[in-house]
């Protein structure tokens, strides 16, 4: 019996993923790849919406793929590939863009934030159509579920709307995907500004823990994380956002419940708690980092794995694209 389909991806927009990507997405991906037929892409076309040095983008694409594998995504089991190596993504995006309202696309909060931050003249059209390319990613694979952090929820909802619109106009073509968002870990916050989400594009590096950083650097960042003056290790998102964020990270990486961690550190100060978390982080990411660096030592082998996975992805994607092209009236 065929397994339900899963699709997700990340932008290769930095030399390393940050632990929000790991906790908000990669852990779920790894756990779900058994029960689902999974497709994981490195979305390099999406990354072109930001200024890039070409050689750096190529490196970051490999580095992102290596981190997927190091985190436990198995390229023999799941289809792990680079978006631009499957041309159907850009092709389907064009068709979907002709069915997306200008107002509808203008309402995407991530676009609004970014265009507001950079100003209209520095905002490229690719940033505007970015969610439509994401819809194409998902719909090409007849996806059932899309595990993401909560910042991507609106994009998955647009994807559902576009799929329903297309199906309504041309007959059953796309499966309607469901976003899957882990309530507790959907948003990991910046260690220096626990009201902002941790992000690869954060202005300051001090609050971002990178998966590929030297463990001692990550440990230092945790020791310096912003907390509060109360001194008790207690989850209270509203009044203690810094400590609560650290508790969420601790729980996610150990598989423990927050109350059991609160108990362990009851009556002890933040110093002890941070030291404990730093140890957890070093233990978790030490082996992941070592494995990723080992994979990056042999880029030819990595490229070979990615190419064969892209061929597998293409087979599925081409079928959907062909159906779409025929339905909208393109001469086959
Ligand atoms: P990206 O590259 O920004 O992030 C990759 C994944 O990590 C999650 N994430 C977080 N989760 C918790 N806390 C955080 N601080 C945090 N930061 C990031 C994101 O929610 C995401 O799941 N548009 C997407 C990439 C994409 C995609 C797709 C995803 C392109 N096509 C198709 C799913 C399906 C993006 O920019 O993710």
Q: 96 and 14 share a domain?
A: yes
Greater confidence, 9 or 110? Answer: 9
Q: 230 and 160 share a domain?
A: no
Task: Report pLDDT for 196.
Answer: 95
Q: 21 and 145 share a domain?
A: yes
pLDDT tens-digit map of 80-108: 999 999 999 999 999 999 999 999 999 99
Q: Looking at ligand 1, which residue's alpha carbon is closest to its atom 35?
A: 10
Whole-number Å distance, alpha carbon 261 to ligand 1 midpoint, is: 28
Q: 226 and 314 share a domain?
A: no
Q: 22 and 167 share a domain?
A: yes
Q: Residue 38: beta bridge partners?
A: 6
Q: 69 and 162 share a domain?
A: yes
And the tokens for 122?
A: 């520095």
Coil, helix or strand at residue 190: coil
Could you tell me the CA-to-CA distances from 143 to 9, 152, 173, 255 in Å, in that order?
A: 13, 16, 12, 28
Q: What does the alpha-carbon distance between residue 120 and residue 157 come to, in Å, rounded to a whole number?
A: 25
Q: What does the alpha-carbon distance between residue 82 and residue 64 come to, in Å, rounded to a whole number?
A: 10
Whole-number Å distance, alpha carbon 130 to ligand 1 midpoint, is: 13
Residue range 121-138: mean pLDDT, rounded: 95
The set of protein residues with a Cβ atom below 6 angstroms from ligand 1 is 7-11, 20-21, 24-25, 43, 46, 134, 137-138, 146, 148-149, 151-152, 186-188, 197-199
pLDDT for residue 43 is more than 90? yes
Pick from 289, 227, 257, 292: nearest CA to 65: 292
Whole-number Å distance, alpha carbon 25 to ligand 1 midpoint, is: 7
Task: Report pLDDT for 260.
Answer: 98
Q: Looking at ligand 1, which residue's alpha carbon is closest to its atom 33?
A: 8
Q: What does the alpha-carbon distance between residue 113 and residue 190 come to, in Å, rounded to a whole number?
A: 17
Give percent above pLDDT 70 in the chain.
Answer: 100
Residue range 176-194: mean pLDDT, rounded: 93
CATH code of the domain in which 237 resides: 1.10.240.10
Give domain status of residue 196, yes or no: no
pLDDT tens-digit map of 292-332: 999 999 999 999 999 999 999 999 999 999 999 999 999 98
Whole-number Å distance, alpha carbon 18 to ligand 1 midpoint, is: 11
Give domain status of residue 224, yes or no: yes
Integer-rounded Cα radius of gyration of the chain: 21
Give domain status of residue 58, yes or no: yes
Give domain status of residue 283, yes or no: yes
Q: Tell me how many helices (H) and strands (E) the chain has.
A: 14, 5
pLDDT for residue 121 is more than 90? no
Whole-number Å distance, alpha carbon 220 to ligand 1 midpoint, is: 26
> Which positions ≥6 away from 157 have C-beta within 8 Å?
179
Give the sheet arrangement for strand 145-147, strand by strand.
79-82, 37-42, 5-10, 145-147, 178-180
Give domain status of residue 197, yes or no: no
Under DSSP, the state recorded for 205 is S
Give domain status of residue 92, yes or no: yes
Q: Looking at ligand 1, which residue's alpha carbon is closest to its atom 14?
A: 20
The CA-to-CA distance between both ends of the chain, in Å, stands at 32
Q: What does the alpha-carbon distance between residue 1 and residue 4 come to, in Å, rounded to a whole number?
A: 10
- pLDDT bracket for residue 241 (50, 70, 90): very high
Whole-number Å distance, alpha carbon 148 to ligand 1 midpoint, is: 6
The catalytic residues are 114, 197, 200
Atom of ligand 1 nearest to the CA of 131: 23
Q: 110 and 247 share a domain?
A: no
Coil, helix or strand at residue 119: coil
Task: Report pLDDT for 122.
Answer: 85
Whole-number Å distance, alpha carbon 226 to ligand 1 midpoint, is: 24
Task: Report pLDDT for 114.
Answer: 87
Pocket test for ligand 1, best of 151, 180, 246 (most atoms within 8 A of CB): 151
- pLDDT bracket for residue 157 (50, 70, 90): very high
Q: 37 and 182 share a domain?
A: yes
Q: What does the alpha-carbon distance between residue 221 and residue 223 come to, in Å, rounded to a whole number?
A: 5
Q: What angle do CA 282, 284, 285 make, to 5 degrees?
A: 70
pLDDT for residue 1 is more than 80? no
pLDDT for residue 2 is more than 90? no
Give domain status of residue 146, yes or no: yes
Q: 157 and 287 share a domain?
A: no
And the tokens for 157?
A: 């909802």
pLDDT tens-digit map of 262-284: 999 999 999 999 999 999 999 99
What is the model's pTM?
A: 0.96
- pLDDT bracket for residue 21 (50, 70, 90): very high
What is the total count of domains within the chain? 2
Pocket test for ligand 1, best of 24, 42, 133 (most atoms within 8 A of CB): 24
> Which positions ≥6 away from 165 have C-beta within 8 Å?
99
Residue 322: give the domain boundaries: 5-186+299-328
Please provide the DSSP assignment of 290-330 as one string: HHHHHHHT-HHHHHHHHHHHHHHHHHHHHHHHHHHHHHHT-
> Which positions ≥6 away from 323 have C-beta within 8 Å?
173
Task: Report pLDDT for 173.
Answer: 98
Pocket test for ligand 1, best of 65, 80, 152, 198 (most atoms within 8 A of CB): 152
Atom of ligand 1 nearest to the CA of 186: 12
> Which positions ≥6 away from 312 have C-beta within 8 Å?
79, 81
Q: Looking at ligand 1, which residue's alpha carbon is closest to its atom 19?
A: 149
Q: What is the mean pLDDT of the chain?
A: 96
Q: 222 and 79 share a domain?
A: no
Coil, helix or strand at residue 100: coil
Please provide the DSSP assignment of 1-65 as one string: -PPPEEEEEE---SSS-BHHHIIIIIHHHHHHTTTSEEEEEE-HHHHTTS---HHHHHHHHHHHH
Task: Report pLDDT for 294.
Answer: 98
Pocket test for ligand 1, best of 18, 19, 43 (most atoms within 8 A of CB): 43
Task: Report pLDDT for 155.
Answer: 98
Four-point Cα dihedral 325, 156, 35, 47, nearest 10: 80
CATH code of the domain in which 321 resides: 3.40.50.620
Task: Report pLDDT for 265.
Answer: 98
- pLDDT bracket for residue 185 (50, 70, 90): confident
**Lowest pLDDT segment from 46-50, 118-122, 229-233, 274-278:** 118-122
Q: 303 and 261 share a domain?
A: no
pLDDT for residue 203 is more than 90? no
């Amino acid at each position: 019996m065929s397994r339900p389909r899963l699709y997700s991806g990340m932008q290769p927009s930095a030399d390393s993923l940050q632990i929000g990507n790991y906790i908000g997405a990669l852990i779920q991906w790894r756990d779900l790849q058994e029960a689902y037929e999974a497709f994981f892409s490195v979305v390099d076309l999406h990354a072109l919406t930001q200024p890039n040095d070409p050689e750096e983008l190529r490196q970051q694409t490999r580095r992102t793929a290596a981190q997927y594998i190091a985190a436990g995504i198995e390229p023999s089991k799941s289809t792990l590939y680079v978006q631009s190596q499957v041309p159907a993504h850009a092709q389907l995006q064009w068709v979907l863009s002709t069915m997306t309202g200008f107002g509808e696309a203008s309402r995407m909060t991530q676009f609004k934030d970014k265009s507001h931050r950079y100003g209209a003249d520095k905002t490229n059209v690719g940033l505007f159509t970015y969610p439509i390319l994401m819809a194409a990613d998902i719909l090409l694979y007849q996806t059932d579920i899309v595990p993401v952090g909560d910042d991507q929820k609106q994009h998955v909802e647009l994807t559902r709307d576009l799929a329903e619109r297309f199906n309504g106009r041309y007959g059953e073509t796309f499966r309607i995907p469901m976003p899957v968002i882990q309530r507790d870990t959907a948003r990991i916050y910046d260690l220096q500004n626990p009201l902002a989400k941790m992000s690869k594009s954060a202005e300051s590096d001090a609050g971002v823990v990178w998966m590929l950083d030297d463990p001692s650097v990550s440990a230092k960042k945790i020791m310096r994380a912003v907390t509060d003056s109360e001194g008790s290790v207690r989850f209270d998102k509203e009044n203690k956002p810094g400590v609560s964020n650290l508790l969420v990270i601790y729980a996610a990486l150990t598989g423990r419940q927050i109350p059991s961690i609160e108990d362990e550190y009851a009556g002890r100060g933040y110093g002890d708690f941070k030291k404990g978390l730093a140890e957890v982080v070093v233990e978790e990411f030490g082996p992941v980092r070592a494995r990723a660096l080992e994979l990056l030592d042999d880029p030819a082998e990595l490229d070979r794995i990615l190419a064969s996975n892209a061929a597998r992805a293409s087979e599925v994607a081409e079928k959907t694209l062909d159906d779409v092209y025929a339905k909208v009236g393109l001469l086959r």
